[in-house]
Homo-oligomer: A and B are copies of this chain.
């Protein structure tokens, strides 16, 4: 006799969601909502008019109020939380949601969240990570947002087994699916099997462009990825924003994920070419909300 967990995980996610088992399921996911007005409006456009099926919000960021108001007014839009433990830009910063002195191990010398994941890992105390993540969920709920999923900005909250365990625990508590990825776990050598239940969903593959892909051309990279998509559940992570003054200034002096990168992501995932490709390749776009409501909150 196999355990319930093993049974749930043996059935493919396609079957658990009610699709034929060889369906190519894809979540086209925009990260970083709330970081700027440019990111908010471009991402909303890419969801309303393009093929972006899901996105996640950074609660500590200055433009959180704007996207939270949108989420509250559009409860069918698939918006989760991009759990944020870093403030990575040079000229534009944010502070944690929890009281500073209760999460001081997460802060730099100026009281902002740390710039890098390395700095985060060096000092972060587990209980303070949990406190800040919980504060972000509670703050979102206070603004009328019912998050469809939880993921991790810059991967910080995924970066060790202990942090991932806390994130999954919060997901169970609030009945919100967490992006648990075979790829990430393999890359980081994290064994998540002890933390998951039959209510969790393990993503088969995560696709995200690298700096090399950006320099070789985003359209070419995404086209190849969509053409090569395999059955199972894939999450494609992108960052949509307009290449305008605000976004150029935010991303100044950073090598990757700049304003032009985000504009190219926006361009591709709002293009007719991308829509046709998804239809031609018989890719089924799904949302975290569908996963949440059919599996986690069933």
Contact = CB atoms under 8 A, between A and B. Distances in A.
Interface of A: 36-38, 41, 62-66, 69, 90-95, 97, 99-102, 109-111, 139, 142-143, 242, 244-246, 249-250
A143 B37 contact: no
Contact of A91 (B65, B93, B100, B111): B65
A122 to B, nearest CB: 21
Contacts of A66: 91-92, 249
Given A244-B245, A245-B38, A62 B143 contact: no
Contacts of A91: 37, 63, 65-66, 69
A30 B298 CA distance: 56
Contacts of A37: 91-92, 245-246, 249-250
A99 B101 contact: yes
Given A99-B101, A139-B110, A64 B38 contact: no
Nearest to A63: B92
A110 B142 contact: yes
Contacts of A110: 139, 142-143
A109 B37 CA distance: 23
Oligomeric state, in number of copies? 2
Nearest to A64: B93
Nearest to A249: B37
A198 B37 CA distance: 47
Nearest first, the 4 A-B pairs at minimum CB distance are A66-B91, A246-B246, A37-B249, A99-B100
Contact of A65 (B38, B92, B97, B109): B92
A145 B16 CA distance: 58
Contacts of A99: 99-101
Contacts of A101: 99, 101-102
Contacts of A65: 90-93
A62 B100 contact: no
Contacts of A64: 93
Contacts of A250: 37
Contacts of A94: 62
Nearest to A69: B91
A101 B65 CA distance: 21
Contacts of A38: 245-246
A250 to B, nearest CB: 8
Nearest to A90: B65
Contacts of A246: 36-38, 244-246
A178 to B, nearest CB: 25
Nearest to A95: B95
A67 to B, nearest CB: 9
B93 A62 contact: yes
